[in-house]
Each structure stands twice: as C-alpha cells, then as structure tokens.
Amino acid sequence: CVVTGGPGTGKTTLAARLIALLVGTGLARPDGVRLAAPTGKAAARLQEAVGAQMAELAAVVPALDDFAVRASTVHRLLSRMRWESAAAPFDALVLDEASMVDLTLMARLLRELPEGARLIVLGDADQLASVQPGAVLGDLCAAARRKDSPLEPCVVVLTESYRFDAKGGIGRLAAAIVQGNAPAALAALRDTADPATELRALPGAEAFGRLAAAYADTEVVPGIRALRARGASAAPFPGARVLCAHRTGPFGAERFNRLVEDRLRAAGIVRKGEAFYAGRPIIVTRNDPLTGLSNGDTGVVLCREGAHGEAVTRVWFPEVGGPDGRFEVAPARLPEHQSFFALTVHRAQGSEYDEVAFVPGPADSRVLTRELFYTAATRARRKVTVYGDAAAVAAAVERRTERAAGLGLDGP
C-alpha cells in the first residue's frame, strides 16, 4: 500500500500501526519486518519515529517485544538482501520518503523483494521528485486518482497536519502552493497578523551577501561558541536553516557557505587555513561503507582534550549510530564532504527545522518550481521567510515539474 500526505500528517504513525497489525495477525514475523529510506538521515528519523511507538503498541501486540527497530538506507538494504533473502526472507518492508526514490532504484528494490512480501510506501507526493530520472511516488498517486484505477484502494491520502495548523501561515502557504494559487501564496506571506510566514526583499547579489553575514552573526557564531564551551551537550546545529533553490551562482548555497566562512575568519572565530575548526558543520556527499556514513548525513566538528592532554578532533554525527547518538569519526576517515550553513532544497528533503529562510533566486530560473517551493516551505515547524520578490513567488507556484517516470500508468 501507499500512504501519502504532507509533513506531520501521521504517515509513520500509521506505518507503525500497520506493522503491529501485520505482526499481530501473523502476516509478518517480528524479525521479518524491514525499515528503509533513501538517505541515512531519513532512515534515522524513520527508526526514531517508529521506535517511539513500539512500547505502546507492544502492550496490545506482545510479539512486538521481539521487533528490533532498525532502519537502513535503501542501498544498504539491497546489499544485505542479496545474501539474506535465501536464508531468511522477510515478510514486510516499510519504505519512507519515497518521493526521493528514483525509477531505477525502485525497480531494483522490487526485483529483490522476496515473493509474497508486503510493501508499505510512505511519502509526500507533492514534494520534489528524485534527482535521478523518474517520479515514482507522484505517478502512483496520480494513477490511483483516475476513475476505476486498480491502484485506488491501495493508496491512502492523509490530509490533517499535526505539525502546523492548516489555517495558520505555513498551512495556508503550503495549500496555496499545491493548488497552484499564486495570489493566495502571496497573501499568506504578506499577512502581517501571522508571524509564521513572511516575504522579504532580496534585491541582488549584494543583499544575498548581507543575508549570509547576518546569519553568521546571529545563528552560526553563537552556536559555535556554545559547542566550544559545552561540547556535545550543546545543540549541534542552529534551529534556523537557510535553503536555496540553487546550488551554484549568485544566490546559490555554495556561495552562501563561502560567505559565512569568510565572515567567521574575518571575526577571528576561525583561523586562516584551519579546516576542521570546532563547530564546523559537515555534510557527507558520498556513501561510504567503511564508516557506515551515507550521502546526506550531517555532523559537527568537536575539539577536546584527550586522556593524555593531547588535542583530539572528531566529527560527531548526532543522528547516526547507537541509542546514545555518540557516533564520531576522525577527520582523516571522512568520505567526501563539505561545510553547510545553507543547503539546497533537494539536500533538505526529509529534514525539518524550527525556522526556514528560503532563497528562490531569479523568477525565470527553471529550477524554481511548485514542488521545490512546497518542499522548502514544509521543512519549517514554526516560521518560513521567503527572501525574494512577488515575481519569484508567483513563478515558483505556477511552474510545475514535468517528468516522465516511464511507469506506463497513463493508459493507452
């Protein structure tokens, strides 16, 4: 089955109850349920969300006491399935953040799925599709809406968000984007009575530079100082995150990250030539089986005194590893990585933040689409600020992503 809905609509809550149903009715063994997501961060969130419900559900379905809640990336699951399936085929797979799964990866997953296994697909069909070819989740949900579609009973659509009020600023903005209603989106952003949404002018590349400097001063510097004073007991990342529609160019995430680090060096927070400074945020850009780190995993550099008084530098990944969250890697062992103060919207999929500052860039950019804008806006729990103009907002709402998934679901 497919469970789709916006952020906070209860997709993983329903998935946990479906697991309980399958185990309770004997359709799946407690050790025969697998959890997977496209990225390491999404897998960690899935594991946390399902695990938080198991104690309550085990009171009703005692067999769940034997269910070890462990989620992995899809690539890691596929590598395990090659040797695991013959000896111990599993009974059910829960796949989260399915909008990020491309056509080729989904085909590989379905080929390797044991015969008779049940597949529970979770995701938001209105979000950005995968970077690689295909829009599998979106096409499945669109096909299910057609009259007399055999997929119709297999798709559940959740509409009530428990993360933000549908009548509040973020809820109204998200609904307007999905509906393609540019005037309503602008009205939500310009509503001065609602502090959850705001539209601020960003007239050019120099203004983008001032935004980077302000973010460095108000968010990054206090966070670095807290990490240097308190170590891992401090929050690893700021609660506010800058998301850019573009990776490169005058309004791109790469330029924003360079500008922030330049500001830190000018302020004396970071020494010239110092690569792994305490408080530096790190994002992994390539899967690495040796460390177990995945593309998209985020960490922060910690510097402390070792047992013999020596300086020890490690990169702490708070969302990776055991229950205590203390998964650390020496800088020399890191796979390909980069600093991140801003992220592209694609990189932010599967994450959520207290506040989001979204930089759409030029209105005529083909990158700027309805799905990208919706994904950026719904990463926020409390506030969304769009740094751009009305033309960019309207263009984003009105421009849809057109992709051919190759699923053959459009009929004759």
On the question of pLDDT at 412 being above 50, the answer is: no
Spell out the alpha helix ranges (H) of 92-220: 103-112, 136-144, 169-179, 182-190, 205-215
Using one digit for the tens of pLDDT, what is the confidence trace for 140-172?
A: 888 888 888 888 888 999 988 877 777 889 999
Q: What's the pLDDT score for residue 182?
A: 96
Q: What's the pLDDT score for residue 174?
A: 93
Lowest mean pLDDT among 42-56, 67-81, 171-185, 372-386: 67-81
Domains and CATH numbers, the chain: 2-158 (3.40.50.300), 176-398 (3.40.50.300)
Q: What's the pLDDT score for residue 170?
A: 93
Directed axis angle between helix 182-190 and helix 169-179, to 10°? Answer: 160
Residue 245's closest CA among 202, 216, 210, 282? 202
Token code pair at residue 41: 């961060």
CA angle 281, 283, 287 (to 5 degrees): 155
Q: What's the pLDDT score for residue 211?
A: 97
Q: What is the band of 191 on the pLDDT scale with cuts at 50, 70, 90?
A: very high
Lowest mean pLDDT among 76-90, 249-263, 390-404: 76-90
3-state secondary structure of 358: strand
Give the whole-number percent of the chain exceeding pLDDT 70.
94
